[in-house]
Amino acid sequence: MTRNEEKVRAALEKVWLNSRPEALSRLATLEGFLEALRSGRTNEECLGTALSAAHRLSGSLGMFGLSEASSCAAEIEALLCQGSVPDITVMAGLVRRLRNLIEETHVPTRTQEKCDS
């Protein structure tokens, strides 16, 4: 890895650390949509919000090297784009998987950050 590539990687890691709460908030939006789906309370607005969350997760997670999570979010986006009511079981599986993938991402502690710098 060149010095420039290292700098880019470090910059992206820093942005990811700051953005992780927002990513989790978007995930919560998807989980909220799933709950609404289960209770039959979905509407156009709710679907639009979920679609936007899935789309943004798909794009941003890929930038931070979370390619599997990005693909998972893209699958959710595709499911929501179908036009018909998404399959609850499939949706639930994808959302659960996405949470696992985001949560298992390495978050350096302050000590580690100091060691790395």
DSSP alpha helix (H) spans, the chain: 3-38, 44-63, 67-81, 88-103, 110-116
Residue type, 111: T
Residue whose CB is less far from other proteins, 37 or 101: 101
Radius of gyration of the chain (CA): 16
With CB under 8 A as the contact rule, the residue among 29, 34, 60, 101 that binds other proteins is 60
Q: Does 22 bind other proteins (CB under 8 A)?
A: yes
Q: Near other proteins by CB under 8 A, which window of 14-22, 33-41, 100-108, 109-117?
A: 14-22
Q: Does 55 bind other proteins (CB under 8 A)?
A: yes
Q: Does 14 bind other proteins (CB under 8 A)?
A: yes
Residue type, 62: G
Residue 62 exposed, middle or buried by CB count within 10 Å (0-12, 13-18, 19+): middle
With CB under 8 A as the contact rule, the residue among 17, 31, 42, 62 that binds other proteins is 62
Q: Does 7 bind other proteins (CB under 8 A)?
A: yes
Q: Does 24 bind other proteins (CB under 8 A)?
A: no
> What own/partner pairs with CB < 8 Å and gap ≥ 24 does 89-97 have?
91/34, 91/37, 92/34, 95/27, 95/30, 95/31, 95/34, 97/72
Which chain residues interact with other proteins by CB under 8 A? 4-5, 7-12, 14-16, 18-19, 22-23, 55-56, 58-60, 62-64, 67, 70, 74
